[in-house]
Amino acid sequence: MILELYMKNCALVEELKLEIGNNLNILTGETGSGKSIIIDALGLCLGEKYDRTFLRNGTEKGIVQAVFYSENKRLSKILNENGFDIDDDNTIIITREIYKDGKSIPRINGRVVKVSLLKEIASSLVDIHSQHQNQILYNKDNHLEILDLFGKKELEVFKKDYQKAYEEYNNLKSELKILNENKNDFEIEREIDLIKFQLNEIESSNLDKDEYDELLNKRDIYRNSEKIFNNLNVSYNLLYGGSTNIVDMIGNVSKELSYISNFDNKIEEFSAEVERIMYELQDISRDIRNYKENINFDEYEFQSVEARVDEINNLRRKYGDTIEDILIYYEKMNNRLEQILGKDERVEYLKNEIDKKEKVLLEKAKILTNERKKIALNLEKFIVDELISLDMKNSLFKVCFEDKNLNIDGKDNIEFMISFNLGEKIKPISKTASGGEMSRFMLSLKTILSNIYDIDTLVFDEIDTGISGIAAQIVGKKLSDMAQNKQIICITHLPQIAAYADTHYSIEKTTDKNRTFTSIKKLDEVKKRDEISRLIAGSNITEKTIEHAKEIIKLSKGSF
């Protein structure tokens, strides 16, 4: 349930903290006073899209924050999977910072999260009903989703089994479509010729994945051959070959040190080290000479290397940046050629497989339909029972099934059919229900779904649309009954519903220094009576109006 809702710089609200009661919470106020701000703020905490117009004019940043208490196991699982350890007090704090540039930052218990996670946990925390949801019910395309939501636990295994088969079936159809590409024989022959040319060009090049780097190294040597030879020659002469060279000079140093090495151990070490260096330089000089004498700067070989590099570069431009890429492309084209040449055989195979899969799929769809029909019978009974409790005793409700083409959801075309009045034929809900009837129907549906999914808090934004008098009183009583087990938040204009409030809040709009402000006050019993009087008579409140308000409140408490 919601323990507290905090807002700062939201629409007409400068700053507001609302502590919400456990049972039936009623919010009332003049039209335009800002009642919807509460719903919008709560929606932001539950992952709804942020509209920058919600930020208070003239401010850069706003905050909405909701504190929840929940023992819902499904919610705990979602939070644990996302790395949240819920404290022993089962408190969850959701914060959303909103900015002028349209950016928003959501947090759970202080940690930044994605909006998608807020949406995921919303279904376990709160169900918000708005007038817009009535329109959703008028569209029969949504009826299947509602039925599946009602029977989610029972249908889950059957839906997964069907959807796995449908995916396999759809993959086969997609492959067949690709094979049949709508190409004529001439276009196919052209593709075959092109692929064969490409394969032959790559094959004849006899590529080796290490070859290219070696060729580039060789080419660099050939291109700098004169400089390499000259520098090696100069280096050899300086080290050993010249009349004055480094090896001879170091040899003289070694000879001089050897004469005095017996006088001191340190000198002996110097002598040995210099002698070692002399021998190493002799070896290096010999290696340089041999390397220099064996260099073969053959012009023909140089041209061959250049030609091979150009050949590989040409393939790289066509088929891939590296030799490995070219070889991968070769495999891909080879498979494509086999696919084309074996097309007729493959097409025939796919058609047979699709026929087999379709039979399996139809059987699984039939099983899913049968399970849905069982769920539908339960939904029909629950809906009728709820409508009866709302004084709609002559209501009939049916879930009608028709077949349609196979899709990811099965083959069921579902439509809710209803009759609210004795002697009236059952008709599609979109052609039968008035505003008031639809409000009570939605109340029934919300009651059922919230019980199934253990949702702690239900929010109703003007569930009283289209109802009045006795019907309003019945809806108020229903909300009050529901509030014995759930937290209910209801925005209403009707005194008959407001009278049932366990906690009543008044929303007011005021102006000060050319600014408009929305505020919320928790009402005591006297102020609750006065607010219900206002709902009855507007600004023309008389003693009779106040007495009427008292009577409605007494009636709601069963003490009239």
Q: Cα dist. 512→276, 509, 515 in Å?
A: 98, 10, 5
- Could you give the CA distance from residue 73 to residue 85 in angstroms, rounded to a whole number? 13
| Mean pLDDT within 352-357 | 93
pLDDT for 560 beyond 50: no
pLDDT for 232 beyond 50: yes
User: Does residue 397 contact residue 383 with C-beta atoms inside 8 Å?
Assistant: yes
Which of 65, 45, 58, 53 is CA-nearest to residue 14? Answer: 58
Backbone φ, ψ for residue 404 (5° rounding): -145, 180
pLDDT-derived band at 504, boundaries 50, 70, 90? very high
Report the pLDDT value the prediction gives residue 526, as an integer from 0 to 100: 92
Report the pLDDT value the prediction gives residue 35, as an integer from 0 to 100: 79
pLDDT tens, position by position, 191-202: 889 999 999 998
Instruction: Name the residue with higher pLDDT: 182 or 418.
Output: 418
Least confident span in 8-12, 112-116, 375-379, 554-558: 554-558
CB proximity list for 416: less than 8 A, separation 6 or greater: 137, 140, 143, 146, 397, 398, 399, 400, 428, 429
Least confident span in 54-63, 67-76, 353-362: 67-76
Q: Where are the beta strands (DSSP E) in 43-119?
A: 61-69, 91-99, 104-108, 111-112
pLDDT for 294 beyond 80: no
Q: Which of 150-154, 202-206, 371-375, 471-475 has the highest mean pLDDT?
A: 371-375
| Mean pLDDT within 72-98 | 85
In angstroms, how far is the first alpha carbon of the chain from the final one?
32
Least confident span in 34-38, 99-103, 157-161, 516-520: 34-38
Report the pLDDT value the prediction gives residue 357, as an integer from 0 to 100: 94
Structure tokens at 430: 């979109």
Residue reference for tokens 């074996």: 342
Burial 386-421 (b: 16+ CB within 10 A, else e): bbebbebeebbbbbebeeeebeebbbbbbbbbbbbe
User: Does residue 396 contact residue 384 with C-beta atoms inside 8 Å?
Assistant: yes
Report the pLDDT value the prediction gives residue 559, as an integer from 0 to 100: 44
- Could you give the CA distance from residue 378 to residue 376 in angstroms, rounded to a whole number? 5
User: Does residue 267 contact residue 260 with C-beta atoms inside 8 Å?
Assistant: yes
Residue reference for tokens 């409000």: 439
Residue length of the chain: 560
- Could you give the CA distance from residue 532 to residue 498 in angstroms, rounded to a whole number? 7
pLDDT for 168 beyond 50: yes
Least confident span in 24-33, 51-60, 153-162, 485-494: 24-33
Structure tokens at 212: 């290219």
Least confident span in 92-96, 170-174, 224-228, 329-333: 224-228
Is the whole-model pTM more than 0.85?
A: no
Q: Where are the beta strands (DSSP E) in 81-237?
A: 91-99, 104-108, 111-112, 126-129
